[in-house]
């Protein structure tokens, strides 16, 4: 497997700095018409200020380290990134989780499995009786013999596995995620299927994530899911439960692609023109709390990557959290938020409206 790219950080690219990404998102150039403020779009839809609903997703980013370096990555993850969550911070997450009711713990990265305390953390969350979702990039399962038993480990802890696969062929998948990723992903899917994942009646949920390989919005989720199921089964005999369509956010490496390819303005206009109030009402930041690798708290994973912490200054770390204050917070929004409200909407759980 070869890397599709390298991290912005390793290349010394200006867009590795969150403040410069925000500057691009908020700058109107001479040849570009001004895009309406996202906050104004929410105001028109009677959703401003955006407030949380009941907390359902406790999302934890275990670090930026990854065996892949995908061209659209919003985390700027890669093998060179060493920032990962410590066991002490995981313990702080567990302490908070113990006080929460029926929430799903959504583990993401990077490749979360590369964190040396990943399995301990999953075991502890499982012992608390919480539902667990792992954003597994598939290739990690076959990357090294020490990961080959991840399917059994996931099964034993009833982990809901969610994995990116941008298309049901190697050409599109490898273009976004690196040469050889498609073939490795098929091997990993077969290993997950072998322990029951995606198989009817097993209770082991295995979903795939589709995001467009380019400056495009995702198409209708149900139609794409039918295509993926038919083609992956026909070509490789592998199965999964649901296809989740996620819009690429105009941040980090996807922002780099948009700017470098000359697609930035048209993509933003497309997102703005497709603003859907119904999707805006259901955005994931309303029922999510996102914990960064260093324990910092955010409204969502995208705000995390843009260094936009929760608006409650006294509760910005899992080490010092005030859940009551967070329940009354105003969700921080910016121009990238159009990515979650375009068309049928986009969330970590797929299309919304």
Partner 1 sequence: MSSYYNPADLAKFGNIVEFQEELGKKFFDYYGAVFAEGALTQREKSLIALAVAHVVQCPYCIDAYTTDSLEKGATEEMMMEAVHVGAAIRGGASLVHSTMMMNKAKELMM
**Residues engaged in binding partner 1 (CB under 8 A):** 167, 169, 172, 212, 214, 216-220, 223-224, 227, 269
Residues paired with 132 in a beta bridge: 105
Rounded CA-CA distance 271/183 in Å is 32
Identity of the residue, 52 or 343, whose beta carbon is nearer to partner 1 in the bound complex: 343
For the CB of residue 218, give the shortest distance to partner 1 in the complex, in Å. 7
Nearest distance from residue 341's CB to partner 1, in Å? 17
Query: Among residues 116 and 220, whose Cβ is nearest to partner 1?
Result: 220
Determine the distance from the C-alpha atom of residue 3 to the mean position of all C-alpha atoms in its chain, rounded to a whole number. 19
In the complex with partner 1, which residue's Cβ is closer, 36 or 49?
Answer: 36
Which among 122, 107, 108, 106 is positioned nearest to 75, based on CA atoms? Answer: 108
Cα–Cα distance between 241 and 145 in angstroms, integer? 26
Alpha-helix runs per DSSP H in 160-250: 170-177, 181-194, 221-236
Whole-number Cα distances in Å, 289 to 93, 97, 181, 227: 11, 11, 31, 33
How far is 6 from 78, CA to CA, in rounded Å? 7
DSSP 147: G
Handedness of CA 208, 214, 218, 224 (dihedral sign): negative
Q: How far apart are CA 277 and CA 209, in angstroms?
A: 23
Instruction: State the minimum distance, in angstroms, from the CB of residue 315 to partner 1.
Output: 40
Q: Which residues pair with 65 in a beta bridge?
A: 78
Of 204 and 215, the one with the shorter C-beta distance to partner 1 is 215
Report the DSSP beta bridge partners of residue 208. 163, 243
C-beta atoms surrounding 304 within 10 Å: 23
Q: How far is the CB of 216 from partner 1 (least distance, A)?
A: 5
Q: How far is the CB of 225 from partner 1 (least distance, A)?
A: 10
208/285 with CB nearer partner 1: 208
Give 79 or 219: the residue with its C-beta nearer to partner 1: 219
**Both tokens assigned to 153:** 């480990």
Closest to partner 1 by CB, 59 vs 185, is 185
Smallest gap, in angstroms, from Cβ of residue 215 to partner 1?
9
Tokens standing for residue 273: 């023109």
- Round to whole Å and give the CA distance between 353 and 346: 9
Residue 103 Cβ, how far from partner 1 at the closest point, in Å? 33
Nearest-approach distance from CB 319 to partner 1, in angstroms? 43
Which residue lies nearer to partner 1 by CB, 144 or 273? 273
């Amino acid at each position: 497997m070869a890397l599709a790219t390298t991290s912005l950080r390793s290349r010394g690219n200006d867009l590795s700095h969150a403040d410069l990404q925000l500057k691009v998102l908020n700058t109107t150039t001479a040849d570009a018409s001004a895009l309406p403020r996202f906050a104004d779009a929410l105001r028109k839809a009677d959703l401003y200020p955006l407030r949380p609903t009941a907390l359902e997703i406790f999302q934890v980013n275990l670090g930026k380290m990854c065996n892949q370096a995908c061209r659209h990555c919003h985390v700027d993850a890669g093998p060179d990134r060493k920032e990962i969550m410590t066991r002490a911070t995981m313990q702080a997450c567990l302490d908070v989780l113990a006080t929460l009711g029926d929430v799903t713990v959504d583990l993401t990265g990077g490749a979360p499995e590369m964190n040396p305390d990943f399995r301990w953390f999953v075991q502890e969350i499982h012992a608390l009786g919480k539902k667990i979702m792992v954003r597994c990039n598939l290739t990690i399962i076959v990357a090294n013999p020490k990961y080959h038993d991840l399917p059994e480990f996931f099964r034993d802890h009833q982990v809901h596995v969610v994995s990116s696969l941008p298309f049901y062929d190697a050409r599109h998948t490898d273009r976004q995620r690196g040469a050889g990723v498609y073939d490795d992903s098929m091997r990993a899917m077969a290993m997950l299927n072998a322990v029951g994942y995606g198989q009817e009646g097993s209770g082991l949920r295995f979903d795939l994530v589709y995001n467009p390989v380019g400056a495009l919005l995702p198409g209708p989720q149900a139609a794409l899911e039918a295509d993926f199921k038919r083609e992956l089964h026909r070509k490789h005999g592998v199965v999964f439960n649901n296809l989740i369509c996620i819009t690429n956010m105009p941040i980090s490496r996807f922002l780099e692609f948009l700017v470098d390819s000359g697609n930035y303005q048209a993509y933003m206009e497309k997102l703005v023109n497709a603003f859907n109030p119904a999707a805006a009402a259901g955005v994931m930041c309303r029922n999510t709390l996102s914990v960064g690798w260093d324990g910092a708290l955010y409204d969502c994973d995208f705000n995390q990557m843009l260094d936009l912490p929760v608006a409650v200054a006294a509760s910005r770390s899992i080490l010092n959290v005030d859940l009551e204050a967070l329940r009354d917070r105003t969700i921080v929004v910016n121009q990238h938020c159009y990515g979650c409200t375009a068309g049928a909407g986009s969330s970590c759980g797929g299309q919304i409206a």
